[in-house]
């Protein structure tokens, strides 16, 4: 269980072996301390699950399982299986945008995802949160068309230098929100007159309604 999984079947089997266990049980077994709260370590669960499943790269700019072409996403859900948060996908490129969906980071990241729901209502202490049943997913043509349309609307604004007009209200399933250490973090972009200027870094996120649908479909198929 220490090495990287060698096939997608093996990866999925490993993920399913985790189902039903609490984070506390799994961490104790490995002798790994849990943080008192996620407030100061928001990414802890995702990175913990990565190590449990044998993801190779520490924090490299590549899929979690490069050989398998699989991206791992933990999904915090209520006891009823409703997502509690949106899902971060990638940064919004604000300079040198290629412009084609098929070449985009979002398209590649979402090409094949291992979703792993975790019952994570805030009232439940971190050690008692329970892993659910993971599933592999790839976008259907219908879904990809929507993702692409959402993505293209965003990138068109970026290409026009209208970065400041981006809002989280746009996008049917893919939205844009800040992605930064703080509101004072700045990154370079290109303004409408072609001049270089600074703006808040932003990321693409999947809306919770959408990941909720995925989850329902997957559960009913089991």
125 binds DNA (CB under 7 A): no
Interface stretch with DNA, choices 2-10, 12-20, 26-34, 201-209 (CB under 7 A):
201-209
Site string for DNA, 78-107 (x = CB under 7 A): ------xxxxx-xx----------------
Interface stretch with DNA, choices 10-18, 140-148, 151-159, 164-172 (CB under 7 A):
164-172
167 binds DNA (CB under 7 A): yes
200 binds DNA (CB under 7 A): yes
Question: Which of 6, 42, 79, 100: binder of DNA (CB under 7 A)?
Answer: 42
168 binds DNA (CB under 7 A): yes
Structure tokens at 150: 């959402």
Burial of 128 (0-12, 13-18, 19+ CB in 10 A): exposed
- Interacting residues with DNA (CB under 7 A): 37-43, 45-47, 49-50, 58-61, 64, 71-74, 76, 84-88, 90-91, 118, 120, 122, 167-169, 175, 177-185, 187, 200-201, 203, 207-208
């Amino acid at each position: 269980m220490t090495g990287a999984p060698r096939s997608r079947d093996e990866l999925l089997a490993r993920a399913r072996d985790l189902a039903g266990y609490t984070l506390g049980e799994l961490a104790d077994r490995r002798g790994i301390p849990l943080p008192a709260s996620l407030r100061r370590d928001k990414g802890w669960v995702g990175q913990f699950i990565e190590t449990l499943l044998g993801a190779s790269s520490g924090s490299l700019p590549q899929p979690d399982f490069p050989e398998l072409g699989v991206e791992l996403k933990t999904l915090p859900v209520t006891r009823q299986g409703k997502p509690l948060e949106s899902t971060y996908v990638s940064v919004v490129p604000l300079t040198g945008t290629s412009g084609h969906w098929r070449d985009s980071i979002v398209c590649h990241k979402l090409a094949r995802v291992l979703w792993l729901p975790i019952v994570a209502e805030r009232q439940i202490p971190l050690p008692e949160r329970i892993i659910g049943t993971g599933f592999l997913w790839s976008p259907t043509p219908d879904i990809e068309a929507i993702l692409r349309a959402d993505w293209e609307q965003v990138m068109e604004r970026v290409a026009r230098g209208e970065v400041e007009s981006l809002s989280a209200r746009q996008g049917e399933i893919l939205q844009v929100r800040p992605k930064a250490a703080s509101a004072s973090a700045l990154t370079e972009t290109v303004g409408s007159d072609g001049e270089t200027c600074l703006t808040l870094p932003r990321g693409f996120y999947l809306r919770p309604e959408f990941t909720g649908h995925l989850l329902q479909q997957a559960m009913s198929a089991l």
